[in-house]
């Protein structure tokens, strides 16, 4: 049977917690990468779902901008975040459900219709 002093010494040892390993603490590059990935996942934004009325309104604005060559501001979801772009609409591919846009620097890009959040004529 342990003595009272041995029990008190053991309790003190248990209260030290992580101090036993404090001197050998280190972080491997793999650990840093996993922490960075985990933090990025915490800041992800889920894609919204448009109701049919919103989708119809966006469709009207897109077709008006296409027919009259208006500049538009588009807010869309890509890579777990929302992005804004100012562009011209070049064409609408209804079968592929995407629109082709011409950016300010002359480059063309495609945006999926189900990723659109808003379209406004400038």
For position 16, what pLDDT does the model report?
66
The DSSP secondary structure of 19-73, one letter per residue, reads GGGGGG----HHHHHHHHHHHHHHT--PPP---HHHHHHHHHHHHHHHHHT-EEE
Per-residue confidence in pLDDT tens, the chain, 122 aa: 778 888 888 777 766 666 656 656 677 888 888 888 888 888 888 888 888 999 999 999 999 999 998 999 999 999 888 999 999 999 999 888 999 999 988 899 999 999 999 999 98
């Amino acid at each position: 049977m342990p003595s009272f002093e041995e029990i008190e010494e053991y309790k003190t040892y248990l209260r030290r917690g992580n101090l036993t390993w404090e001197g050998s603490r280190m972080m491997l590059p793999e650990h840093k990468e996993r922490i960075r990935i985990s933090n990025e996942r915490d800041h992800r934004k889920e894609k919204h779902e448009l109701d049919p009325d919103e989708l119809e309104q966006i469709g009207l604005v897109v077709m008006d901008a296409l027919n009259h060559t208006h500049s538009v501001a588009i807010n869309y979801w890509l890579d777990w975040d929302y992005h804004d772009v100012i562009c011209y609409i070049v064409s609408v591919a209804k079968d592929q459900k995407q629109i082709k846009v011409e950016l300010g620097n002359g480059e063309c890009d495609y945006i999926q219709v189900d990723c659109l959040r808003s379209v406004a004529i400038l």
